[in-house]
Chains A and B, each alone.
Chain A
Amino acid sequence: MTPLAKNSTKERDSALLTAVAAGDRRALEELYLGYHRRLARFLSRFTARYENIEEIINDTFMVVWQNANEFRNASLVSTWIIGIAYRTALKAFRSQKNYADMGSLDDHPEQSVDPTIATEIHDWLQQGLGRLPIEQRLTMELAYHMGHSLEEIAAITDCPVGTVKARMFHAREKLRQCLPALSGAASESRARIE
């Protein structure tokens, strides 16, 4: 997206949210259609069940509808909406067992990925990501799937920058433990250095 297009999107979102705060249902619908694709794609990384994705998106926009007048331009509208979606998703993922394979590495410390079964990096990665604690996975997906900066993720997750760095650090370490191909590449390089 060009800087000009980004600015026009920011202004459009801001105008729409102001209208939503004044009780304009059409503005909410336009905002919904503008964010649905992005949020659905992001959430489909965690669950294949569309009813769960829809529930999180619709719960998010119910909060947007009810709290639009509390938005004070302290952040971008997009950061504010994705922050609401983040908290809604986090709550849903924590409370419902059927949201994907949400077990964390801490829940199954004895398990590891069998390299003879999963030979592709992509398959290993999916399994590895599925075993990360949800906060760590969300942090990694916000950075790599959605392309957010460190500061944006701190605003979305309502955490200090240091916490975001720590979550990402632990996510990377845990992924390497269960992704032999990747950790092998790194350790080989390290061995060459030593």
Chain B
Amino acid sequence: MTGHLTGDCEHQEVSALIPWYVNARLSESERLKVDAHIAGCAACRADLHVEQQVFEAIKGAPTVEYMPAASLKRLQTRLDTLQSVAPAADAVPVVRIRSGWPKRALMAASVAVVAITISLLLADRWVQFRAQQAAPNYRTVTNSPPRARDEVIRAVFAPTITLIELQAILDEAELRIVSGPTEAGVYSLAAKSNRPVRSSLALLRQHPTVRFAEQTREEPAPGDSP
């Protein structure tokens, strides 16, 4: 009887560990315990077979890759707003301590801080709204966004690239950013010197952090009139 209870306990304990046996995240002693139990327990072997299928299906499910550049830009805007509001909020207790303003004045100051915060947020929303209104909310394959002036190359960099690395690549290729990144992480690049665009393009493509680089403007052939 005791043996039976011990067996049930062990079965339940091992059964609860099966998901982490499947994802290979058990400690060595736990793994050995599961191995030993499974060898003599057909129910757990069946459970293991099912969980392996679920694990493989979840792990192998296709996922969409998103470029972080545009999202990071929006986070930076939020941080800018937060930092521009913070000093105003901090000023309130200072006013109270130094001048000993009555409660009503302090409340008025608090209301002013809240009003400034709301104004900043509304201004941000308004700018976003105007931008949305100004741009068409559809795009066809033949209707690409206007090309930036002087743009010669469009490029997409790895999401993990740092600003220093990006600048080093651009300096080496004698290019500069004229606009971007877009929602899709695309930068428009212009030439900084008379270096042939094809040469800059070849250099970009050598870098493992450059995911995509394409020339957008043909170079004039030697002898062509300007």
CB distance B75 to A186 under 8 Å?
no
Q: CB < 8 Å: which of B20, B22, B46, B64 contacts A190?
A: B46
Residue numbers in A under 8 Å from B202 (CB-CB): none
Shortest C-beta distance, A131 to chain B (Å), equals: 14
How many chain A residues sit at the interface, stated as a range, is 35 or more
Residue numbers in A under 8 Å from B161 (CB-CB): 33
Residue numbers in B under 8 Å from A175 (CB-CB): 54
Residue numbers in B under 8 Å from A97 (CB-CB): none
How many chain B residues sit at the interface, stated as a range, is 35 or more
Given contacts A125-B54, A175-B54, A182-B53, contact A33 B159 (CB under 8 A): yes
CB distance B68 to A165 under 8 Å?
no
Interface centre among B19, B47, B74, B82 (most CB of A within 10 A): B19
The yes or no answer to A71 lying at the interface (CB within 8 A) is: no
The yes or no answer to A150 lying at the interface (CB within 8 A) is: yes
Q: CB < 8 Å: which of A57, A182, A192 contacts B54?
A: A182
- Of A79-87, A105-113, A138-146, the segment with at least 4 beta carbons within 8 Å of chain B is A138-146
What are the interface flags for B76-101 relative to A under an 8 Å C-beta threshold, 1 for contact and 0 otherwise?
Answer: 10110010000000000000000000
Residue numbers in A under 8 Å from B46 (CB-CB): 185-186, 188-190, 193
CB distance B23 to A143 under 8 Å?
yes
Given contacts A144-B59, A189-B43, contact A54 B49 (CB under 8 A): no
Q: CB < 8 Å: which of A28, A36, A45 contacts B61?
A: A45
Q: CB < 8 Å: which of B49, B58, B66 contacts A53?
A: B66
Residue numbers in B under 8 Å from A165 (CB-CB): 16
Q: Which of A1-59 contact B (CB under 8 A)?
A: 25-26, 28-30, 32-34, 36-37, 40-41, 44-45, 48, 50, 53-54, 57-58
- Chain A interface, DSSP helix/strand/loop, else mixed: helix
CB distance B49 to A189 under 8 Å?
yes
Residue numbers in B under 8 Å from A29 (CB-CB): 72, 76
Q: Which of B126-168 contact A (CB under 8 A)?
A: 159-163
Q: Which of A166-193 contact B (CB under 8 A)?
A: 168-169, 172, 175-176, 182-183, 185-186, 188-190, 192-193
Residue numbers in A under 8 Å from B159 (CB-CB): 33, 36-37
Residue numbers in A under 8 Å from B63 (CB-CB): 41, 44-45
Given contacts A144-B19, A172-B51, A176-B50, contact A37 B65 (CB under 8 A): yes
What are the interface flags for A62-78 relative to B under an 8 Å C-beta threshold, 1 for contact and 0 otherwise?
Answer: 10010000000000000
Alpha-carbon distance between A147 and B49 when the two chains are bound, in angstroms:
18
Q: CB < 8 Å: which of A34, A65, A125, A193 contacts B58?
A: A125
The yes or no answer to B125 lying at the interface (CB within 8 A) is: no
CB-nearest residue of chain B to A169: B16
B residues contacting A by CB (< 8 A) are 15-17, 19-20, 22-26, 42-43, 45-47, 49-51, 53-55, 57-59, 61, 63-66, 68, 71-72, 74-76, 78-79, 82, 159-163
Given contacts A122-B57, A125-B58, A189-B45, 9 further A-B contacts (CB under 8 A): A37-B66, A50-B66, A141-B58, A145-B58, A149-B25, A169-B15, A188-B46, A190-B42, A190-B43
13 CB contacts below 8 A, A to B, read A33-B68, A33-B161, A36-B71, A44-B66, A62-B78, A122-B61, A125-B54, A126-B61, A143-B25, A150-B17, A183-B50, A188-B46, A189-B49
